[in-house]
Structure 1
Amino acid sequence: MGKWVKKASVNNTHQSFKALLGTDLPIIQAPMAGVQDSALAIAVSEAGGLGSLPCGMLNLDQIVSELEVISAATTQAYNLNFFCHRMPAFNQRQHAEWRDALTSYFAELDIDPTSLPITTNRLPFNHDIADAIESYRPPIVSFHFGLPDHTLLARVKSWGTKVLSSATTLQEAMWLEANGADGIIAQGLEAGGHRGMFLSEDITTQVGTASLVPQIVQKVNLPVIAAGGIADGRGVQAAMLLGAQAVQVGTAYLLCAETKTSTLHRSAILSELSQHTALTNIFTGRPARGIVNRAMRELGYMQPLAPTFPYASIEAAPLRRQAEQQGRDDFTPLWCGQNTSGCKAISAGELTKALGKYSVTLQ
């Protein structure tokens, strides 16, 4: 009887991810702004996973254009990802202090800091965006940094769209369940890119995937998607044994043919440099994991002078641009998780199918 019950639970897990994601495989490709467009999302969806399009840095015309491409290329489920942070006012004093700290770098790269803008393209989800995507009725919409306000969330769900959001602590997972999410992405500390943390700014609250997933599974009644450090079928299997219904994978896709990962970024991933990643706020103002480079070493990983998200990118972007033109990644956010063992220069479809070939042996 005990063996029968365990096998039935696996089947229920399978049905749970199918009902939530509408995919053949329990694999979600993490949305990765700056290194991908619709091509990666399409390839993953066509291979049976859930392809994701990062929309947080796109304007309305770009979002619609990418949706048109996706709609024409696949009938499979896909995910649109948005930021839902609270947009602060531009703080002139904060930026003046930060620019003073960056004086030597601006001089080195011949940048006039007084010519920099006071705006950023990382905007939170809003009704204008909802107007633009409503007619497409996206199957899945995921959010980073919590959830949008109740009116916006209700509007998205009225389309028949399933809503996912990232939790980096048990408290965030419980908040997401109480506030209308349909599934929870349990983002472990190993994950590359921005931490989805939204109830606290204290990075000491952040734990690894193997600790986070079972805590959330035990306390919430929603499907849980494991994210962070998952690079191959063994990682998928481990996540399932911890109670996850699906996994979200980002770093392993960074070398795939359908990505737009730069040559500098690819080189760093393939080198020993990728063995040292850290959380930093100097590029955007929020903690995000990337390969350690000159800017992180010299300025400090978590720099209290860095402007509030998303405004730190105002200073970071021109430094990055000028350095990259000289073939240097000194100021490039080399977003990357702690586990690059699954990074291969293959097609995203091939990687997705390989990730999906897992088995759970029950005693």
Structure 2
Amino acid sequence: MTPVDWSAQPLVLAPMAGGPSTVALAAAAAHGGLVPFLAGAYLTPDRLRAELAELRSLTSAPFGVNVFAPSPDLPTMEQDALTYAASLAPWAAAAGVELGTPRYDDDFFAAKVDLLVEAAPALVSFAFAWPPADVVGRLQQVGTEVWVTVNEPPEVEWAQALGVDGLVVQGWEAGGHRGGPVDTGDTQLEVRALVPEVARRTDLPIMAAGGVMTGAEAADVLGVGATAVALGTAFLGCPEAGTAPVHRHALTHRTGTTVTRAFTGRSARALTTTWTELFTEAAPAAYPHVHHLTAPLRAHGRATGEAELVNLWAGTGHERLRSLPAAELARLLVGELAEAR
């Protein structure tokens, strides 16, 4: 296992769970000079094991794996999701889709931890909650760096107490789910303001994310205190990405994003659609219960190309998307960063 030299490779392919992240995308980004992440969330342990093996067969470069740590299962969540289901029912019926059943699960957390301890990738990052201290220790013992996601400066001290190796600092502009341990639903700091606030509190390395689409923009974020910069939305248009066709089209044909719990019960930034406009206020903080509730409707939207029924995750920079092969885009980003520096 090769450690990451952030001074030489400060650009990262962010994990994008639920389809966009693929082994082919990660391998191509690595070939172009980025440090890639695989998205372990929503995969079975067997599928994750296969993807790890496949990526290692395609590149010897260091890479990371992101997993979702179990969210709390509060007593009110199932009922809150059922109440939301009643609001969604006419919407789903008009589409001819039966909603799913709200339920809790931990996304095979223990089995994935066992697998990652065995596989020992260079990095493992956690989102949604933080791993227990014994999990951090097990991964570090095999030489894997453990990173956790923060959205608020006061979370830094919690992370330091846990003994992690680095912080994924996610600004408000970022596409997809808010990854920090507390989903407040409140507006949070943008990345260029958040990074310096975090850097004042810690000497841990900072991997910043949020709306970055070019190497020059990455240089700006590195300049305010980040050690590395992760890009996700920038790669959604690459042919190697598993982005659904309806999602690809919307990224360059729609304007405006919003942060909403309407799709999964956890705050996430997506393109504005009829769904977000109608149901953001009604959606409860109940992940993964709402995720399972809405999954059939979202799958139907992807299959039929009905954008209004799809969680179109996107960062605020989506209109500057460059739909290039991933290795080409990675090399372009590296070149832009070098020029900006």
Q: Same-fold call, TM > 0.5?
A: yes
SS at match of 1:260: coil
> What residue is the counterpart of 1:73 in the other structure?
58
In the TM superposition, 1:318-357 aligns within 5 A as 318-357=296-335
Aligned equivalents of 1:112 and 1:227: distance in 2?
Answer: 36
* Shift in alpha-carbon separation, 1:181–1:257, aligned structure 2, 3 A: same
Aligned equivalents of 2:340 and 2:240: distance in 1?
Answer: 33
List per-residue Cα deviations over 1:161-217 (Å, max 9, x = no partner). Answer: 01112111111123212212211121110000011122451423x110111011111
The number of residues matched between the two structures is 337
Q: CA deviation at 1:159?
A: 0.8
Aligned equivalents of 2:31 and 2:102: distance in 1?
Answer: 40
SS at match of 2:113: helix
Aligned equivalents of 2:313 and 2:250: distance in 1?
Answer: 10
Query: Which amino acid counterpart does residue 16 of structure 2 have in structure 1?
Result: M
Matched, 1:139 2:122: yes
Aligned equivalents of 2:154 and 2:108: distance in 1?
Answer: 22
Match of 2:11 among 7, 27, 33: 27
Matched, 1:287 2:259: no
Q: Conserved in 2, the CA contact under 8 Å of 1:278 and 1:289? A: yes
Match of 1:313 among 271, 291, 295: 291
> What residue is the counterpart of 2:226 in the other structure?
244
> What residue is the counterpart of 1:198 in the other structure?
181
Q: What are structure 2's unaligned runs of at least 5 residues?
A: none
Matched, 1:225 2:204: no
Q: Conserved in 1, the CA contact under 8 Å of 2:183 and 2:266? A: no
Q: Conserved in 2, the CA contact under 8 Å of 1:146 and 1:176? A: no
Aligned equivalents of 1:245 and 1:72: distance in 2?
Answer: 28
Matched, 1:108 2:94: yes
SS at match of 2:126: strand
Q: Conserved in 1, the CA contact under 8 Å of 2:244 and 2:302? A: no
> What residue is the counterpart of 1:266 in the other structure?
248
Q: CA deviation at 1:92?
A: 4.4
Match of 1:95 among 59, 64, 81: 81
List per-residue Cα deviations over 1:240-287 (Å, max 9, x = no partner). Answer: 21121110111111101210111110111111x1x3000010111110
* Shift in alpha-carbon separation, 1:19–1:137, aligned structure 2, 3 A: closer
Matched, 1:50 2:35: yes
Aligned equivalents of 2:251 and 2:143: distance in 1?
Answer: 39
Q: Conserved in 2, the CA contact under 8 Å of 1:60 and 1:129? A: yes
Name the TM-score, length of structure 1 as normaliser: 0.86
Aligned equivalents of 1:361 and 1:56: distance in 2?
Answer: 34
Q: Conserved in 2, the CA contact under 8 Å of 1:285 and 1:306? A: yes
> What residue is the counterpart of 1:14 in the other structure?
none
Aligned equivalents of 1:78 and 1:20: distance in 2?
Answer: 8
SS at match of 2:109: coil
Q: CA deviation at 1:158?
A: 0.9
SS at match of 1:306: coil
Name the TM-score, length of structure 2 as normaliser: 0.91
Query: Which amino acid counterpart does residue 114 of structure 2 have in structure 1?
Result: D
Aligned equivalents of 1:121 and 1:198: distance in 2?
Answer: 17
Q: Conserved in 2, the CA contact under 8 Å of 1:120 and 1:313? A: no
Aligned equivalents of 1:23 and 1:256: distance in 2?
Answer: 26
Aligned equivalents of 1:57 and 1:122: distance in 2?
Answer: 10
In the TM superposition, 1:142-221 aligns within 5 A as 142-199=125-182, 201-204=184-187, 206-221=188-203
Query: Which amino acid counterpart does residue 99 of structure 1 have in structure 2?
Result: A
* Shift in alpha-carbon separation, 1:280–1:162, aligned structure 2, 3 A: same
Aligned equivalents of 1:66 and 1:24: distance in 2?
Answer: 26
SS at match of 1:214: helix
25-34 or 102-111, which moves further after superposition?
102-111
> What residue is the counterpart of 2:44 in the other structure?
59
Q: Percent identity?
A: 28
Aligned equivalents of 1:159 and 1:198: distance in 2?
Answer: 25
SS at match of 2:264: coil
Q: Conserved in 1, the CA contact under 8 Å of 2:71 and 2:106? A: no
Q: CA deviation at 1:40?
A: 1.0
Query: Which amino acid counterpart does residue 174 of structure 1 have in structure 2?
Result: E
Query: Which amino acid counterpart does residue 54 of structure 2 have in structure 1?
Result: V
Match of 1:298 among 278, 285, 292: 278
Q: What are structure 1's unaligned runs of at least 5 residues?
A: 1-17
Aligned equivalents of 1:92 and 1:340: distance in 2?
Answer: 34
Aligned equivalents of 1:343 and 1:24: distance in 2?
Answer: 25
SS at match of 1:256: coil
List per-residue Cα deviations over 1:304-349 (Å, max 9, x = no partner). Answer: x436101112221111233344431112110000012542121111
